[in-house]
Structure 1
Amino acid sequence: MDVREQRWFGVGHSVLADPAEAGAQACRAALEGRPATLLIVFASMSHATEEMAAAVHAAAGGDVLMIGCSTSGEYTADGRGRGVVVNAIGGPGFAASVRAVPYDSMDLYTAGASAASCLDDIDAEHRAVLLLGDGRSTDQQEMVRGAYSVAGAQVPLIGGCAGDDMQQTGTRHFFSSGTEVLVLPDAVLGAALGSTSPLGIGVAHGWHRKGEPMAVTSSEGGKIFELDGEPALDVYARLTGCPPEVIADPGAFLQFAAVRPLGLARRTGEDIRIIFAADQDDRSISGLADTPEGGLVWFMEADPGAITDAASAAGSAAVAAVGDADPLGVLVFDCCVRTLALGPDGTDLATQRLGDTLKPIPYGGFYSNGEIARTPGAKGMHHLTVVALAVS
């Protein structure tokens, strides 16, 4: 069969020191001479440059739709590392449209709605909206709510928020809707993907409830003031054993709290809410996504085996969701804080198990600052979680 008559998903990975050379090498490996409908680019901060984005774009022919973002590391079937990963989708039956929203141009809800408006251009049997948000925003759920206001309940939202090697200094996004390449700081990007064959989504995290449920009695956005009528920080410190000297040190508290999350009750389980800051004055704790008043939360405890297997579980679920169709490739969005919970050896093992599960299906993933999966069973923003999109 002529290659132009085949649908395909290609992945290229390069850790060459020069960002432009790495971008070009990764793109050529993903394309293998084929014209792409859409490129999705993941790059470590060391490689997230204008030169890299331009080189990827040029290697694809200089007239291609492209979205991408900086990361806290990437991985493919070749292993993990810091460089550039290019994911490319092409062939008959695929359609794509893209949008870019500079982060400082509007509020997050409007940014999400604007990014998801790319869906207006796509008329296909199977559709999904890929979102790449800013990992430093304080209420990422607002971006998802805005996108949902456009996509509705029938079109899933999937993606992740850009990383910056966990430095919280600023993220970068790569974008092209044709001939011009943009590199935007702290932006929100959207790509609507249409397909004649199913798209599957998988979500897994490996945490379980610990103790009794607590009512969120006072909160605003990602900030929780009270749990069961008590100051939230007092409850958190008592139940986790967090000492006062750690609470007083923002860096130490972040390291302590990042792997001691809350779980927000949902119909099919819990959405993980990472805690990253404490305010000693008002005795509150803060996360990166909305924890609404009246909601029920639990403290969550790690199941080491399930955390290690979360990436493979999400990838397997995404592949299963395409049913009888042949999976062509998988995009994986994997929380960067999971690497702290797993440690270097556990992170390597998790990557190995993902590869063993998906083999021989190609895949590209990155360590994100927040994961997005809005489906009938998952309500939007996630943390310490892996979400995956399978393309068939």
Structure 2
Amino acid sequence: MCAFRSRQRPSRPVVRRESLLRLRSNGRRNRRNGVMEVRTACSSAPGLAEALEEVSLQLQGFAPTVLVVAFNTVFSGEQLVSGLEARFGCIIAGCSSCKGALCVVPDASSAYASHTNATLSLFAISDPQGHYGVGQHQLDPEDVQASAKSALDMALYASGRGYESPAVIWCMLPPGQEENIIAGFQSVVGETVPILGGSSADNDVSGKWQQVSTLTAGHDHIVVLVLYPSRPLGYAFSSGYKPGPQVMTVTGCDGRQLNTLDHTPAAAVYNRLTGHTIDGFLQGGNVLAASTLHPLGRKVGAGDHYHEYLLSHPHTVTAEGAMTLFSEVSLGDELVLMEGSRDSLIHRADRVLCNALDLLEEGARPKGVLMIYCAGCMLAIETDLTLMINELRRSHPHLPIMAMYTFGEQGCFLDGKSRHGNLMISALVFSA
């Protein structure tokens, strides 16, 4: 999807050599053996020891280059990484996912072990001809972009291919500073490298989210995986919403706080246009659930036959009538009131996956799909998640699929620009 370009070799991170080797894919030991393969494994066990045992049995005989991990935050990230590294000895990158993760595990007989809310899910990539590296850095709120740069520099150095731009950057972040983190990444590789991934989630927005890598686990770490795969990738980034007729202009804001729309308190405008959906919160309160089907959208790309929108999810109403969001807006932005439904959210995962498949190079055979699905969307259709996973299984009967439920989504639109948004869905397809 993205042509490699030469870049300055990254500086060596300040870590011990044996630690650096643990951040690097082990494919070069088997460089002449095998092609790209992907498998998924998952467990709904409530205890970590049992979950680790179950996923290990499912991947028995498979030697992954990389494990991308999604887990319920009731598990200890530190203990999880220790258990996975002892069993698989490969690089690890992942984060907690709201109430678990979606995972489809096809086997040779087309029988499925699938879960809509697995406590532990693994997306295992074996790519002996590829190069991968993981990096991490604790987020410094005083210099977010420097933290992001350090994490990416470590991943690029560990990959052994840091003098070239990666095909994709996959990131797992703490919520809250995603726009600045993306800017930090782009200060290293420029704006043409696709940045995908999600913001780690917990089960109740209490701040118990976790990020994990081969070397670390924490609540405020930037974890980044750089991919130089041996075969082409396909990716798509979209939402399950359509634009409504109402367009408003941001006339007062401060980062993620939307103060006024058309010179009127934002909450009052939003309440009127949505048919009084937040009547009970105009003096203040949490409106996450009430606003899920009516986010605010910004047009970010358009062609002759399509328009793309980046979404912002209203979070709270302040005592002054402002609204806090999970992504930033700017003065003068034109916002569209978006419209969604349970039905559109159920079917959108399959549509985004199909879009990513369509964007694979001709002749490439899909081997597995790594997805991000907004936790807010998941919670809105929680009782119908079985319908969503069954549609994925019917449409793609031989594809391993894993989807993380996140509190923020990073992705690349058709205009080639990577952005942070809310209530979004992304798919990254690996091929052979």
Q: Secondary structure of the equivalent of 2:366?
A: coil
Q: Secondary structure of the equivalent of 1:224?
A: strand
- Name the counterpart of 2:389: 351
Residue ranges of structure 1 left out of the alignment (5+ in a row): none
Using the TM superposition, give the Cα deviation of residue 28 of structure 1 relative to its aligned residue in structure 2, in angstroms.
4.7
- Name the counterpart of 2:152: 116
Which of 345, 349, 354 in structure 2 is aligned with 1:307? 345
Alpha-carbon distance between aligned partners in 2 of 1:229 and 1:87, rounded to the nearest angstrom: 48
Q: Give the TM-score of the pair, scaled to structure 2.
A: 0.82
Which of 317, 321, 324 in structure 2 is aligned with 1:286? 324
Q: Secondary structure of the equivalent of 1:256?
A: helix
Give yes or no for the alignment of 1:182 onto 2:204: no
The runs of at least 4 aligned residues of structure 1 exceeding 6 Å deviation read none
Using the TM superposition, give the Cα deviation of residue 24 of structure 1 relative to its aligned residue in structure 2, in angstroms.
4.1
Which of 220, 231, 250 in structure 1 is aligned with 2:285? 250
Relative to structure 1, the CA distance from residue 23 to residue 130 in structure 2 (aligned partners, 3 Å threshold; closer, same or farther) is: same
Task: Please say which of residues 21-30 and 318-327 is displaced more in the overlay.
Answer: 21-30
Using the TM superposition, give the Cα deviation of residue 285 of structure 1 relative to its aligned residue in structure 2, in angstroms.
0.8
Relative to structure 1, the CA distance from residue 43 to residue 376 in structure 2 (aligned partners, 3 Å threshold; closer, same or farther) is: same
Higher strand share: 1
Using the TM superposition, give the Cα deviation of residue 125 of structure 1 relative to its aligned residue in structure 2, in angstroms.
8.5
- Name the counterpart of 1:362: 400
Relative to structure 1, the CA distance from residue 173 to residue 83 in structure 2 (aligned partners, 3 Å threshold; closer, same or farther) is: same
Relative to structure 1, the CA distance from residue 353 to residue 111 in structure 2 (aligned partners, 3 Å threshold; closer, same or farther) is: farther
- Name the counterpart of 2:420: 381
> Is the CA contact 2:32–2:129 (under 8 Å) kept in the aligned structure 1?
no
The percent identity for this pair of structures is 21
> Is the CA contact 1:214–1:297 (under 8 Å) kept in the aligned structure 2?
yes
- Name the counterpart of 1:142: 180
- Name the counterpart of 2:102: 75
One-letter amino acid matched to 2:74: S
- Name the counterpart of 1:18: 47
- Name the counterpart of 2:139: 103
- Alignment RMSD: 2.3
Using the TM superposition, give the Cα deviation of residue 187 of structure 1 relative to its aligned residue in structure 2, in angstroms.
1.8
Using the TM superposition, give the Cα deviation of residue 188 of structure 1 relative to its aligned residue in structure 2, in angstroms.
1.4
Residue ranges of structure 2 left out of the alignment (5+ in a row): 1-30, 105-113, 303-307
Alpha-carbon distance between aligned partners in 2 of 1:236 and 1:375, rounded to the nearest angstrom: 27
Which of 34, 44, 57 in structure 2 is aligned with 1:5? 34
Alpha-carbon distance between aligned partners in 1 of 2:32 and 2:71, rounded to the nearest angstrom: 28
Q: Secondary structure of the equivalent of 1:16?
A: coil
Task: Please say which of residues 209-218 and 293-302 is displaced more in the overlay.
Answer: 209-218
Give yes or no for the alignment of 1:196 onto 2:223: no
Using the TM superposition, give the Cα deviation of residue 129 of structure 1 relative to its aligned residue in structure 2, in angstroms.
0.4
Q: Secondary structure of the equivalent of 1:17?
A: coil
One-letter amino acid matched to 2:285: P
Give yes or no for the alignment of 1:156 onto 2:194: yes
Which of 71, 84, 90 in structure 2 is aligned with 1:56? 84
> Is the CA contact 2:237–2:412 (under 8 Å) kept in the aligned structure 1?
no
Q: Give the TM-score of the pair, scaled to structure 1.
A: 0.89
Alpha-carbon distance between aligned partners in 2 of 1:147 and 1:196, rounded to the nearest angstrom: 23
One-letter amino acid matched to 2:171: L
Using the TM superposition, give the Cα deviation of residue 87 of structure 1 relative to its aligned residue in structure 2, in angstroms.
1.2
> Is the CA contact 2:288–2:313 (under 8 Å) kept in the aligned structure 1?
no
Relative to structure 1, the CA distance from residue 146 to residue 356 in structure 2 (aligned partners, 3 Å threshold; closer, same or farther) is: farther
Alpha-carbon distance between aligned partners in 2 of 1:175 and 1:116, rounded to the nearest angstrom: 13
